[in-house]
């Protein structure tokens, strides 16, 4: 086999080095493609609530910033490796120390980046945890292994076990205050389309506000390992117009609504005491 062409100093020719550089450049591109990274979402959901969209944009900013900083670091490393590599057995590259302007630059820039990321995170976090005044309140109670949704000021009560996928109805374009509790152990209230998750804790009322921007039915689930049938603990969130929401609430008025609420509470008591849900239906997705 013929050996590669060499320069007078015994090193590979320029064309040979160029081919090596091209191959090295292909590696990070191939790694990015194989990782399945999606642009511009970077694997996150655009969200159907105002706070979820803020979290989504924050994630985008972090991802873009990380990509820029990572690319810069890789380029600087490659430049230093190639520019100051040893060219002969005895030669030592020129040593450069105490370049004050450069040292100040690479110290100040990372500090400014961290301050910027912290400030952006603080702004978004304040939006997520804010609880503005609103006329719409829903009490959400998690239990092994189901959900109960009740509406203060109304007779509306929805209780569903693991196989029933209970639905929480809420209006679009309105702040909805949620009081989240647990009857027994720690559960997790998670709606992927909202980019939102909260603990449901026994003895603690976890309060938050959701402001949906799109109508539709969105899948939710428990995210904390809470027992044998945790993987079946699903629910739905149905976002409707305000007029549809009021019509739905009014449908619970009268003696029939009281009977339905009593039956729902009885179903919850039976579920928590039996500790065994009814026969499971088909799975609705990964846990």
What average pLDDT does the structure give for the chain? 80
User: Residues 60, 116: one domain?
Assistant: yes
Together in a domain, 150 and 267? yes
One domain, residues 39 and 103: yes
Give percent of the chain above pLDDT 70. 72
Which residues are registered as beta bridge partners of 6? Answer: 12
pLDDT digits (tens, 9 = 90+) for 224-244: 998 888 888 899 999 999 999
Residue 181 predicted with pLDDT over 70: yes
Residue 279 in any domain: the answer is: no
Is residue 287 in a domain?
A: no
pLDDT of residue 179: 95
Residue 279 pLDDT exceeds 60: no
Distance between CA atoms of 77 and 156, rounded to whole angstroms?
Answer: 63
In this predicted structure, what is the pLDDT of residue 256? Answer: 54
pLDDT of residue 158: 87
- 150 and 189: one domain? yes
Summarize the confidence of residues 152-174 as an average pLDDT: 85
Q: Does residue 119 belong to any structural domain of this protein?
A: yes
Residue 6, in any domain of the structure: no
Does 167 map to a domain?
A: yes
> Do 181 and 65 belong to one domain?
no
In the predicted model, is pLDDT for residue 280 greater than 50? no
Q: Is 175 helix (H, G, I), strand (E, B) or coil?
A: strand
pLDDT digits (tens, 9 = 90+) for 104-113: 988 999 999 9
Question: Mean pLDDT over residues 31-52, rounded?
Answer: 73
Alpha-carbon distance 31 to 28, whole Å?
A: 5
Q: Are 129 and 210 in contact (CB under 8 A)?
A: no
Same domain, 244 and 140: yes
**Three-state SS string across 209-247, please?**
EEEECCCEEEEEECCCCCCCCHHHCEEEEEEECHHHHHH
DSSP of 98-126, one letter per residue? Answer: --HHHHHHHHHHHHHHHHHHHHHHHHHHH
Domain-ending residue, one of 129, 155, 188? 129
141 and 269 share a domain? yes
Which residue range forms the structural domain that includes residue 266? 136-274
Ranges of H-type helices in the chain? 14-34, 50-83, 100-129, 242-250, 255-274
**Position 63 in a domain:** yes
Q: Which of 80-84, 99-103, 138-142 has the lowest mean pLDDT?
A: 80-84
Q: 163 and 33, same structural domain?
A: no
State percent of the chain over pLDDT 90: 34
Same domain (yes/no): 150, 258: yes
Same domain assignment for residues 102 and 152: no
Do residues 78 and 196 share a domain? no
* Residue 205, domain CATH: 2.60.40.420
* pTM for this predicted structure: 0.71
pLDDT over 50 (residue 281): no
Domain match, 158 and 245 both: yes
Residue 212 forms part of a structural domain: yes
CB-based burial label for 75 (10 Å; 0-12, 13-18, 19+): exposed
Name the residue with higher pLDDT: 34 or 50. Answer: 50
Question: Which carries the bigger pLDDT value, residue 223 or residue 5?
Answer: 223
Q: Structurally, how many domains does the chain consist of?
A: 2
Given a contact cutoff of 8 angstroms between Cβ atoms, the answer to whether 213 and 51 are in contact is: no
């Amino acid at each position: 086999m013929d050996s590669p062409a060499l320069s007078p100093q015994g090193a590979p020719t320029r064309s040979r080095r160029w081919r090596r550089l091209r191959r090295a450049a292909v590696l990070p591109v191939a790694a990015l493609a194989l990782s399945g990274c999606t642009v511009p979402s970077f694997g996150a959901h655009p969200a159907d609530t105002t706070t979820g969209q803020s979290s989504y944009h924050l994630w985008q900013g972090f991802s873009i910033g990380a990509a820029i900083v990572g690319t810069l670091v890789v380029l600087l490393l490659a430049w230093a490796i190639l520019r100051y590599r040893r060219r002969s057995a005895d030669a030592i590259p020129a040593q450069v120390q105490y370049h004050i302007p450069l040292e100040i630059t690479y110290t100040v820039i990372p500090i400014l980046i961290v301050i910027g990321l912290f400030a952006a995170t603080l702004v978004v976090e304040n939006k997520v945890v804010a609880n503005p005044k609103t006329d719409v309140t829903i009490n959400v109670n998690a239990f092994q292994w189901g959900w109960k949704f009740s509406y203060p000021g109304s007779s509306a009560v929805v209780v569903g076990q693991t196989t029933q996928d209970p639905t929480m109805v809420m209006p679009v374009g309105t702040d909805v205050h949620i009081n989240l509790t647990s009857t027994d152990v720690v559960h997790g209230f998670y709606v992927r389309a909202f980019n939102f998750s909260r603990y449901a804790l026994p003895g603690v009322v976890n309060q938050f506000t959701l402001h949906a921007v799109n109508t539709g039915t969105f899948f939710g689930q428990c995210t904390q390992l809470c027992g044998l049938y945790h993987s079946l603990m699903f629910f739905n969130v149905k976002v409707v117009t305000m007029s549809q929401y009021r019509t739905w609430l009014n449908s619970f008025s009268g003696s029939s609504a009281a009977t339905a609420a009593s039956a729902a509470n009885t179903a919850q008591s039976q579920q928590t005491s039996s500790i065994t849900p009814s026969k499971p239906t088909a799975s609705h997705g990964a846990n």
